[in-house]
Amino acid sequence: MSYEAKSFDHLLGIEGLSDGMLNNHFGLYAGYVANTNKLVEELGKYQVEGLTADPQYAELKRRFGWEFDGMRLHELYFGNLTKEKAEFSEDSILGIQIKKDFGSSENWQKEYLATGAMRGIGWVVLYFDFFAQKLFNVWIGEHDGGHLAGAFPILVMDVFEHAYILDYGTKKADYISAFMKIIDWKVLNDRYDWATKISEVKPAGIDHFGCRC
């Protein structure tokens, strides 16, 4: 099994993010894909040789989450950006859920922006909790730490310095403002629609936690 780096060259020329910064970012993403593949290969060797009790195996196993999530979060991040105008709609399926969970789209955006403005490097993710059918804005300090179990990412914003410093220096707030203008709301609606459909599918007699009730 191997993963392939996806091409996001269609984003070149997008408003608010320079081609130079995007190309650097694409290269960083490709590194996570390559490292994920290397770890899959190395872990496989340890398993075949029966060396899973080896301390080195444990360290590689722990590292896997960092590299894999670094790969996948970047794919979600680039995937929710667009050069086309994709306006937020209060009446969309996602817009209705946002109003339900946050009171208004303004309240949601205010909290999302505040989360992104927090000191530190990481990610800001709008998550949909499959079990409670509820949206949450979440801060991810590291690629592999802070995720909500049983939740699906709807909107992902990279707030590591590499995502903005070449264009905006230390003015992270300006980057966040630019990011909010290039969100692909069609993609977000599709992600939310998929997540709600998946959450409805379960074997008869088994609840979301796998117990027969």
Task: State pLDDT tens for residues 96-139.
Answer: 999 999 999 999 999 999 999 999 999 999 999 998 999 999 99
Tell me how far apart the alpha carbons of residues 112 and 192 are, in angstroms, rounded to a whole number: 17
Assess contact for 65 and 140: CB atoms under 8 A. no
| pLDDT above 60 for 65 | yes
35: amino acid identity, one letter = N
Biggest alpha carbon–alpha carbon distance for the chain: 56
CATH number given to 93-200? 3.55.40.20
Residue 18: other Cβ atoms inside 10 A: 14
Q: How far is the C-alpha of 132 from the C-alpha of 148, rounded, in Å?
A: 12
Long-range contacts of 127-132 (CB under 8 A, 24+ apart): 127/151, 127/152, 127/153, 127/154, 128/97, 128/152, 128/154, 128/192, 128/195, 128/196, 130/195, 130/198, 130/199, 130/208, 131/199, 131/208, 131/209
CA dihedral defined by 82, 181, 73, 175, rounded to 10 degrees?
130
DSSP letter for 207, please. Answer: -
**What's the confidence (pLDDT) of residue 213?**
44
Phi, psi angle pair for 38, to nearest 5°: -65, -40
Which pLDDT value is given to residue 200?
74
* Residue 208: other Cβ atoms inside 10 A: 11
pLDDT at residue 61 tops 70: yes
Work out the angle at residue 147's Cα, subtended by the Cα atoms of residues 107 and 31, and round it to the nearest 5 degrees.
115
Least confident of 32-36, 72-76, 82-86: 82-86
Q: Torsion angle of alpha carbons 46, 47, 52, 55, nearest 10°?
A: 20
User: Hey, what's the torsion of the CAs at 64, 66, 70, 71, to 10 degrees?
Assistant: 0
**Res 11 pLDDT > 80:** yes
Arithmetic mean of pLDDT over the chain: 93
pTM over 0.85: yes
Report, as an integer, the average pLDDT of 139-160. Answer: 94
Looking at residue 77, its pLDDT comes to: 98
**What percent of the chain clears pLDDT 70, i.e. is strictly above it?**
93
